[in-house]
Amino acid sequence: MLQVNPFSEIATTLPSVFMKTFVVIMILSVLISTLLDMAHKKNAKYFFINLKKSKDAAKRKISASKKASVIAKTVASDIMTTAELGAGQRRIAHLLGMYGSILFWITSCIMIFNYSNPSIVTPSLFPILWHLGAIMTCLGGYWFWFFLRVDVSAEGHSWKRIIRADLFVLSLVTASTFGLAWSFTQSSGLIALSGLFFILFVLSNITLFGGVYWSKFAHMFYKPGAALQKNLSEEDGSRDWLPEPSDKPKKFGLGIKRESARHY
C-alpha cells in the first residue's frame, strides 16, 4: 500500500486528464477565493495603511541588511516553526498538520501530473511521502480537534460543536483520512469501498479548496504578512503604537501558579 501510487491505479478507469483538470480547478479556486476574501475583508488595504502609519511612527530607520535579517528570522521562526505558539502540544500538532498537508499536496501533484499513467512506473519515494503526509495531517488535525481546541477547552463547549471556522480543519483531516482509506481499500482489492472512499476523498477536497472563502484557509496567507509587519514594527520602534515592555518584576504572587495554562 505505502509504495503504490493510488492515482496510477485508478487511471485505468479514470483518465489522468480529469485528475489534472481537477487539480488545476482546485488551485484556481484557492486563488480566486483568496482574492475575493481579501476584497471582502479589505486585508491588503489594511496592511498597506498600517505599513504607512508604521513608517510615519518609526523611531529609527532600518538598514537593508537589518530588514533582510528580520525577514529571514520571521520566516525561520514565525512561519517555518510557528514559534509564536510556544513549545507545547499546540505547536507540535500545528507543525504536524502544516508539514503533513504540504507534503501531501506536493506529492499528490507530482504523482498526478507525472505518474498517473499506468504505463509509467512511479518511484516508491513519492507514494511513501504521500502516505506519510496524510498520516502526519491526521495526527496533527485530530490531536488539535479532540484535545487542543481553545473554544472547547476554555469555554466549556462540547467537542461535537461545529461552527464555520471549523470548516478548514475538518475538511483538511477528512481529505487525508479518506485518501488513506481509499489507498488501503484499493490495495486490498475492495473495489466497492475503494470507489466510495475515492468519491468522499474528492468531495472533501472540493470542500477544502472550494470553501476557502468561507473557511480559515486564507488565514495561512495572512499570518506571514502579519508576523513580518509585527517584527519590523518592533525593530523600527513604532511597535504598532504599543508601549515598550516593562522591565519591572512581576508581582502577581503565587496564585498565578496554581493552575498552569494548557492552551494559550
What digits encode the pLDDT tens for the residues 23-35? 999 999 988 888 8
Q: Is residue 30 part of a domain?
A: yes
**Does residue 184 fall inside a structural domain?**
yes
In a domain, 252, yes or no: no
Domain that holds residue 100: 6-55+65-151+160-235
pTM over 0.85: no
Flag whether 173 is in a domain.
yes
Distance CA 82, CA 79 (A): 5
Question: What angle separates helix 167-187 from helix 191-210, to the nearest 10 degrees?
Answer: 160
Structural domain contains residue 77:
yes
Distance between start and end Cα atoms, the chain: 39
Q: Report CA torsion sign: 52, 53, 59, 65.
A: negative
Cell for 217? Answer: 484557509
Query: Considering the domain boundaries, does residue 251 fall inside one?
Result: no
Q: Is residue 201 part of a domain?
A: yes
Taking residues 121-148, report their average pLDDT.
91
In a domain, 29, yes or no: yes
Q: What pLDDT does residue 150 have?
A: 64
Number of domains the chain contains: 1
Contact between 97 and 245 under an 8 Å Cβ cutoff? The reply is no
- All three cell numbers of 245: 515592555
Is the distance from CB of 108 to CB of 114 less than 8 angstroms?
no
Q: What is the pLDDT of residue 262?
A: 58
